[in-house]
Each structure stands twice: as structure tokens, then as C-alpha cells.
């Protein structure tokens, strides 16, 4: 099984290098182990995450693509669908079949037709449009619903941190960019 998983991951990596989606870079941590990947995801434009560069790791099971990988951000990120330890909670990464809680349809969950590219694009969409009804981070979900300006301030701080720049220059750069 691991042989077919390796072939599939190698093909997906080749596709990602030939035709990378905008704002996403991903590939194996090293070419000796195609089951551990690193990714850099740029925060979507027009969101509180815009301008940030968020590193993550993907860990693929030996029976990939029959089972989904696990994804975890390796930086601080405050989001309703991301646990405080960085693990991503999104339907596409949930095991195939019926949801024991009855919340998701089987069509929303993992299937072998999905790909690394689809996962990463789904995570970018999730950053832009959180599902606050199914919060992995209850505090973030509550703040997203009830105090969006405070949520945005926290997100701005984390964006700034991913870029390694202090708050004042960041705000000045963003204000100047918006005026151009």
C-alpha cells in the first residue's frame, strides 16, 4: 500500500511544482520521506489574514489516498477552525464515510479523489470564511461571531508575527498600500 501512496504523492508534488496555486507552496520536507510535507500559505486578500505567511505541515498515512492526511499550522494562528495547537479541523480532512455526530455529509468528508492541492485551497477558503458553528477553537469562534474587531486585531498581530515586523511599521505599510 505504501508504494502506491508514494507514487500518488510524487505525482501530486510534480503537479504542484508545475502548476502551483497562487499563494501556496508545498512539498516534502525532504526527498527521503514523501509522507511529511511542509507548506506555506499566504493569507487570503481582503481578510484579516491578508499579508501573512503561515507555515504548516502535512502528515500522510501509509494508505493515502484512502485515508486523509493530518494538517497542522506550525505558527500561532487564532481561527475558529484551528485548534490552539495548530491542528486544522475542516471537513475535507475528516475520515471518509458518515459523520458520527451527523453534522457533515459524507460528500463533504475525505475521499480518494481529493488531493493535496484541494486540501490547501480548502484551507485558504476556510481562513477567509470560517465555520463558526463547528469551532475547533471555541474562543475564536465566539469572538468571530460577537466581537469581529477584536478578532481582527488578534489576527493582525499574528500576521505581523509571521512576517517578523513590529506593529507600527506594519500599520503604516498597510495604510500606505491602501492609499495607492
In tens digits, what is the pLDDT along the chain, a chain of 180 residues?
Answer: 578 999 999 999 999 999 999 999 999 999 889 999 999 999 999 999 999 999 999 999 999 999 999 999 999 999 999 999 999 999 899 888 766 665 667 778 899 999 999 999 999 999 999 988 877 999 999 999 999 999 999 998 888 888 887 655 444 544 554 565
Please give the residue range of the domain that contains residue 59: 4-163
Cα separation, 5 vs 60, in Å, equals 9
**Residue at 117 is within a domain:** yes
**Residue at 88 is within a domain:** yes
Number of domains composing the chain: 1
**Residue at 109 is within a domain:** yes
**Residue at 150 is within a domain:** yes
**Residue at 174 is within a domain:** no
pTM of the full structure: 0.86
Active centre residues (catalytic): 89
The CATH code of the domain that includes 139 is 3.10.110.10
- pLDDT value at residue 132: 83
- pLDDT value at residue 173: 46
Evaluate whether 138 touches 89 at the Cβ level (below 8 Å).
no
Burial 69-104 (b: 16+ CB within 10 A, else e): bebebeeebbbbbbbeebebbbbbbbeeeeeeeeee
- pLDDT value at residue 169: 47
The contacts of residue 172 (CB under 8 Å, 6+ apart) are none
Amino acid at each position: 500500500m505504501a508504494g502506491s501512496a508514494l507514487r500518488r504523492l510524487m505525482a501530486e508534488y510534480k503537479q504542484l511544482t508545475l502548476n502551483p496555486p497562487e499563494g501556496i507552496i508545498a512539498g516534502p520536507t525532504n526527498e527521503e520521506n514523501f509522507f511529511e510535507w511542509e507548506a506555506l500559505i499566504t493569507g487570503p486578500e481582503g481578510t484579516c489574514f491578508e499579508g501573512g505567511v503561515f507555515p504548516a505541515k502535512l502528515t500522510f498515512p501509509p494508505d493515502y489516498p484512502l485515508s486523509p492526511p493530518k494538517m497542522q499550522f506550525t505558527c500561532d494562528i487564532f481561527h475558529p477552525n484551528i485548534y490552539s495547537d495548530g491542528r486544522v479541523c475542516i471537513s475535507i480532512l475528516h475520515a471518509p464515510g458518515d459523520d458520527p455526530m451527523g453534522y457533515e455529509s459524507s460528500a463533504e468528508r475525505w475521499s480518494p479523489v481529493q488531493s493535496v492541492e484541494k486540501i490547501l485551497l480548502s484551507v485558504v477558503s476556510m481562513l477567509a470564511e470560517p465555520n463558526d458553528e463547528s469551532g475547533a477553537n471555541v474562543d475564536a469562534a465566539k469572538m468571530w461571531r460577537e466581537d469581529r474587531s477584536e478578532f481582527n486585531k488578534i489576527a493582525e498581530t499574528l500576521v505581523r508575527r509571521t512576517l517578523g515586523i513590529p506593529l507600527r511599521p506594519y500599520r503604516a505599510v498597510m495604510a500606505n498600500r491602501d492609499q495607492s
